[in-house]
Chain A
Amino acid sequence: MMTKYTKPIIAAVVSTALLSITACSGGSDTSSKDAGALSVAWWGSQDRNNYTVDLLKQFEKKNSKIKVTPQFTGWDGYWAKMSTQFAGGSAPDVLQMDRKYLRSYAERGALMNFDETNLDLSKLDEESLATGEVNDELYAIPTGVNAIAMFYDPAILKEAGIKFDPTQRLTWSKFADIAKKVSKELPDTYGAQNIMDELSYLKYYARDKGEQLYSEDMKSMAVSTETVADWFRYWLKLQEQGVTPPAQVSASVGHGEIQDYPLVKQQAAFGFAWSSQYTALKGLMNRPLGMTMFPHLDSGNHPYFLKPSMYWSISKETSQKSDATKLVDYLINSAEASKLLGTERGVPINEDIRAQVKSRATKMDEKVIDFVSKVSSVAGEAPPVDPTSTSRIIDLFTKIAQQVQFKKLTPDEAAAKFVDQASSILSTS
């Protein structure tokens, strides 16, 4: 009897052992949280990862009892990872949050209400802080703010014989004239990038018309079909006149993928992005780059708004509330931390810190800080945090705007379709 089953058992043992060897070589994962360590998650570029790790080490040195485990990935993987970690009960204690997801997480009870912590909010700009509120409760602290900006290539404008004064705000029609002139004067150059399919910019445009994008209860679209159609028509006309690139080129520019911008490739005079992307754009272009405010309708409304670049949140289930709070406090309110942070996560909303950052800022950082300060002086009330189904609405808007660009839908049809379908997404979620 002893020998009869020896072979099967050996087989099982050996093959299991072999398997575990290969499993070992599969690389060590950061999944397990060691007891007592505070886990911090963020997304970002390599550059951000490097200085944030240094920042956390600095924090550990000051608070010798706290150990911090960093977890970082790129933007796309980050949200898949966060949702699985929250679902599996192993959420990080402190996490970087985005306005696209803030409402989803907050309304589902995944985040700590900052009223339950003793975080010092006294120095933070109230208007900016309000962007972290969901249903009047504070769930996220903005790491900094930025604003939409129009970027231009001074060399191209000069070549086209255009005298451009960046201190004067353009109306949309004046902007179209200038862009048209560029494409007329310079054969291989477009006036501007086509931003028809970017929902944030439509939000700005709607505010200029005195409308909001979403209704107050987030159950339907508040923007009028007419406004959306106007927006589509404006950009379609420029596309048809050859002022912006043709549809198939515009479609290849992914959202926020600034390396693909016609402006960066020296193929257009104007591009549109967030003010925080100034440094990155400049790095890619390696030639003079101007930044100014978006064109407007001169309606007397205040379309401009400050956008939190991203936030810090604490997960509801954290077992280390006080340590987590201490860390967020360090990231927001500490002068020492701001030396490493600069404006990489947006212009700080702590007024003392902002002044300090500006005093030692590089020329580039200074420009960004000045821009944001200028925007604050003309900005209207901050829009509420986006609805939970924002991602779906953005995907829908991109698709419908592309159908306009490719002439599968007229601006009027497309606008009606977007408002209708977006409202139905909002009402069912």
Chain B
Amino acid sequence: MSTTKSTEVVHESEAGPSEAGRPRASRPARRPNDGIRRSLTAYGFLTPWLIGLLTLTLGSFLLSVYLSFTEYDLLSPPEWVGLDNYATMLTDDLFITSLMVTLLYVVVAVPVRLVVSLLFAVLLSQDIKGIGIYRTLLYIPSLIGTSVGVAIMWQNIFSDRGLINMVLMNIGVDDPPAWVSSPQYAIYVIVLLSIWQFGSEMVIFLAGLKQIPDPLYEAAAIDGASKVGQFFHITLPMLSPVIFFNLVMGTINAFMVFTQGYIITHGGPINSTLFYVLYLYRQGFQYFHMGYAAAMAVVFLIVVAVVAGFIFLTSKYWVHYEDTEDN
């Protein structure tokens, strides 16, 4: 809901100046400079962010696009090599591996995390005494989840003789696998860590759930719709813009997974958790191939943009905006 509101504001301020040129009869006449002033105010508040964007983000971004066409070892000046770095990528096994590992991670972690966070949001939207405590407790993992300490804890829990295996052995499982260090399971340990941090999506879902007008449920109940029916025919469609938001943000974030692979599994075993960003980091800072790393970053940007764009394209088939029907 909040997203649609903010787009409205932007529309108004963008449309302001041109509208001021040809005043409509239905609206009170505006002073000609109103629009300019309004957008200036907006830009005024945006200044710090714009300064940050221009100096920190945009500058670095353009520099890394430039570096992607060079061979640069950080210690001597970059040398122009044209498209060599991009060509190398096509024959680099590890590049392919890291891309595949990352895609697997995204495809598994993002949907599961969405479902789990929605499930908990629905559970926690009930009016029960002390529900606030549960909300807080379930939110906490998302605050601490990306920290190094938690990664190390996770590593211990899922190690050969860690907590999970202690429990398994006590209930009679004979030879449980060493989860973090077996090539089949290691990535799922990291997926699980990501799912455990569903808190921020859950909070956004909770806010979305509160926005759904009660009369819809009341009407459905009178017509004899079951709770499950109500969930699929009212809650899900009404919540679809929020699901869309969480899906896009979640996908982009999942692509950038790094810390967990870096700390818990060191990219191993047998490169089964060599995430794209981890490989990029190794190329740049450990192998001194900053040009290649920059080229990988550019390709990464394109990959993520394509995936995000694809989700946007599909959105018109499943995302339901209430106000589009009003127009």
Tell me which residues across on chain A come within 8 A of B13, comparing CB atoms.
Answer: none
In the assembled complex, the Cα of A389 lies from the Cα of B74 at a distance in Å of: 14
Contact B41 A7 (CB under 8 A): yes
User: Quick one: given A4-B37, A8-B41, A12-B47, are A86 and B74 in contact (CB under 8 Å)?
Assistant: yes
* A267 CB → nearest B CB, Å: 9
Tell me which residues across on chain B come within 8 A of A389, comparing CB atoms.
Answer: 287
Chain B residues touching A, majority SS? loop
For window 261-314 of B, CB contacts with A under 8 Å fall at 266-271, 281-282, 285-288, 290
Contact B266 A10 (CB under 8 A): no
**A337 interface residue per 8 A CB criterion:** no
**A398 interface residue per 8 A CB criterion:** yes
* A414 CB → nearest B CB, Å: 11
In the assembled complex, the Cα of A53 lies from the Cα of B100 at a distance in Å of: 46
**A2 interface residue per 8 A CB criterion:** no
**B76 interface residue per 8 A CB criterion:** yes
**B183 interface residue per 8 A CB criterion:** yes
In the assembled complex, the Cα of A8 lies from the Cα of B38 at a distance in Å of: 8
Tell me which residues across on chain B come within 8 A of A35, comparing CB atoms.
Answer: none
User: Quick one: given A7-B37, A83-B74, A108-B73, are A406 and B183 in contact (CB under 8 Å)?
Assistant: yes
Contact A15 B286 (CB under 8 A): no
Query: What's the A-B contact tally at a CB cutoff of 8 Å?
Result: 100
Tell me which residues across on chain A come within 8 A of B41, comparing CB atoms.
Answer: 7-8, 11
Chain A residues touching B, majority SS? helix
Tell me which residues across on chain B come within 8 A of A254, comparing CB atoms.
Answer: 266
Tell me which residues across on chain B come within 8 A of A45, comparing CB atoms.
Answer: none
Contact A104 B48 (CB under 8 A): no
Identify A12's interface contact among B37, B44, B160, B266, CB under 8 A. Answer: B44
Contact A252 B282 (CB under 8 A): no
Contact B75 A15 (CB under 8 A): no
**B231 interface residue per 8 A CB criterion:** no
In the assembled complex, the Cα of A367 lies from the Cα of B292 at a distance in Å of: 47
In the assembled complex, the Cα of A18 lies from the Cα of B51 at a distance in Å of: 14
**Closest CB pairs A-B (n = 5):** A11-B44, A252-B181, A108-B75, A8-B44, A8-B40
- The chain A residues found within 8 Å of chain B, CB to CB, are 4-5, 7-12, 15-16, 18-19, 79-80, 83-84, 86-87, 104-105, 108-110, 247-252, 254, 388-389, 391-392, 395, 398-399, 402-403, 406, 408
Q: List 10 A-B contacts (CB under 8 A).
A: A7-B37, A10-B44, A15-B44, A79-B286, A108-B75, A247-B269, A251-B269, A252-B160, A406-B183, A406-B269
